[in-house]
Chains A and B, each alone.
Chain A
Amino acid sequence: MATALHELTTPAANVGARLRALRKERHLTQTELARQIGIQQSDLSRMEQGEYRVSLDHLFKLLAVFDVSFSDFFDKGSAEDEPRRALSREDMQILHLVKQLSEEGRREAMEFLEFKVRREQQDRRAVAVRRSGRETGS
C-alpha cells in the first residue's frame, strides 16, 4: 500500500495521470494523441503510468496539441490532491524575498505592489472601455 502511494505521487506519475485526464477530457484515444505528438501508442501508455520520460520536443508537441489548457494540466489538474500548487514557485520566491526585508522595506514593497496592482487594474479597465467602444461603433 505504501509503495503504491509513493508511486502515485512521483512527479512523473502525477504528470502521467494529468495527461490521461486531459486526453480523456478532449475525447482523444491514446493512438490519436500518440500520432499527433509522434510517439508510439505503447510509449504514451507508459507515459500516462509515469514510466516513460518524454523528450522536450515531445513535451512541446503536447503543449501545441493541448494549447492553453496545458497550464491546467500542470497547475490545476491535481489541485485537490496537491494543494501546494495553489502557490507557484515564483509566488513562493516573491514571499521569500519579502520575508527578508526589514519592517520599513516591507511597507515600501507593499506600497509598490499595491501601486502596480492599481495601475494594472486601470490599464485593464481602459482596454475594456476601448474594446467596448469599438464593438458599439462609437
Chain B
Amino acid sequence: MSAHYDELMRSAEAAFTGDNLTAAAELYQQAAAIALEAGDQDRADHAFCNHCSMLTELDQGTEQIPKLKEILLRSDNPKNRFLAAYNTAVAYDLQDDLEKSRSYANRAIELSESLGEPDLVSRSANLAGTLAVRESRFDEADSCYHKALDVQESFDGHHGIMRAQYMDNLGYVMMCTDRLHDGIDLCEEARADLERVGADHYLYETLQDLCYGHLMADNLDRARECGEQALDLAIEFEDDQIAKNCLFLLSETAVRHGDTFRARRYLRELTAYYPEVGISEEIIDVFLATDLTSVVNLRG
C-alpha cells in the first residue's frame, strides 16, 4: 500500500504544482481510499484533507465540512488536525459564514504555532489575512499577509505559487491603504512568478489586482491590458466573482479613457450577472456617474 500511496501523493503534488487542481483533487481522493482500505487512518485523513484543500481552491468542497470537523475532533495527529481546521475555515469562508470561518482559522493558527512548521504558520497567517480583508480590516490583513510572506520566504523549499499569492494579497492591501506603487510592484512580481510557472489558475486574480492598481495610478492602458487578460482567464476558469470585478474595473477604465460607449458595454455584461436586478440603463448610469473604485472591495 505504502508505495502506491506515496506515488499517488507525489503525483497529486505534481498536479497541484502544474496548476491541474482537478487532477490533484482526484489523486488525493484515490490516495485516501487506498489508505483507508489498508486501515491506515492517519494517512487517509492526511490525503482527505489535501483533497479538500484542492476542492476549496476550486471553490467547492463545502459538503466535506462535517467530515473535516470529525477529523479535527478524532485525530491525534496534530498536522491532520491543523489541515482539518484550516480547510474547515476555508470551506466556511466559501459559504460566506465568516464567523465560523474565523473561529476555525483561529484554531488552525493555534495548531500551526504549536507544530512550529513554517509552511503551516504562513498558510494560517494568510488565511487570517484573507478573512480580515473580506471584512475591510486592512491594517490587520496587512500584518497577517506580511507574516505569511516573511515566514514563507524564511525556509528552503518554499512554495513558489504560495509565495506569489501572498505577495499579491499583500499588494492588494497596500493599494487599498495609500501605498499604491509599492502594492503594484509586489503584484507585478507575483505576476512574473505565476507566469513563469504557468499558474494561470492563480494568475487572473493577480491581474485583476493589477488592473485595479494601474487604474488608481492612472495607467489606463496598462489597467485595460491587465483587466482584459484577467477577464478572459476568469471566464475560462468559470470564476464569476473575478469576472464581475474585472467588468466593473474595465468599465471604470473606459470611463476614465473618455469612452463611455465601451464602458456601457462592460456594464451591460456586468448587470447580466445580476438577473434579480435586471439590465437597467438607470443602474448603468449610476455606475457611469459615480466613481465607486474606492467603495468596492474586490475581495469582499
Q: Which residues in A have some Cβ–Cβ distance to B below 8 Å?
A: 10-12, 15, 38, 40, 43, 46, 51-60, 63-64, 68, 70-71, 73-75, 85, 88-90, 93, 96-97
Contacts and interface: CB of A to CB of B under 8 A. Distances in A.
Interface stretch (B2-10, B86-94, B122-130, B292-300): B292-300
Contacts of B98: 40
A56 B135 CA distance: 14
Contacts of B260: 89-90, 93
Q: How many B residues touch the partner, as a band?
A: 20 to 34
Contacts of B274: 60, 63-64
5 contacts: A38-B96, A46-B136, A59-B296, A93-B260, A96-B258
Main secondary structure of the interface of A (DSSP, over half): helix
A53 B296 contact: yes
A11 B288 contact: no
A92 B277 CA distance: 27
A35 B2 CA distance: 51
Contacts of B294: 10-12, 53
Interface stretch (B18-26, B106-114, B194-202, B278-286): B278-286
B76 interface: no
Contacts of A74: 286, 289-290
B276 interface: yes
Interface in B97-142: 98, 135-136
Contacts of B296: 53-56, 59
Contacts of A71: 282-283, 285-286
B282 A11 contact: no
Contacts of A52: 135-136, 297
Given A63-B283, A71-B282, A89-B260, A53 B289 contact: no
B230 interface: no
Nearest to B176: A53
Contacts of A75: 286, 289-290
Contact of B255 (A46, A89, A96): A89
B245 interface: yes
B291 interface: yes
Contact of A63 (B277, B291, B293): B277
B139 to A, nearest CB: 11
A88 B283 contact: no
Nearest to B290: A74
B288 A64 contact: no
Interface of B: 96, 98, 135-136, 176, 241, 244-245, 248, 255, 258, 260, 270, 274, 276-277, 282-283, 285-286, 288-297, 300
A30 B164 CA distance: 39
Contact of B136 (A15, A51, A68, A88): A51
Given A71-B282, A89-B255, A54 B289 contact: no
A15 B245 CA distance: 19
A70 B248 CA distance: 18
Nearest to B258: A93
A52 B245 CA distance: 17
B160 to A, nearest CB: 29
A58 B277 CA distance: 12
A15 B140 CA distance: 24
B267 to A, nearest CB: 11
Given A56-B300, A64-B276, A90-B288, 11 more contacts: A12-B295, A15-B292, A53-B294, A53-B300, A60-B274, A60-B276, A63-B274, A73-B286, A74-B286, A90-B289, A93-B258
B64 to A, nearest CB: 23
Contacts of A40: 98
A54 B297 contact: yes
A86 to B, nearest CB: 11
Contacts of A56: 244-245, 248, 270, 296, 300
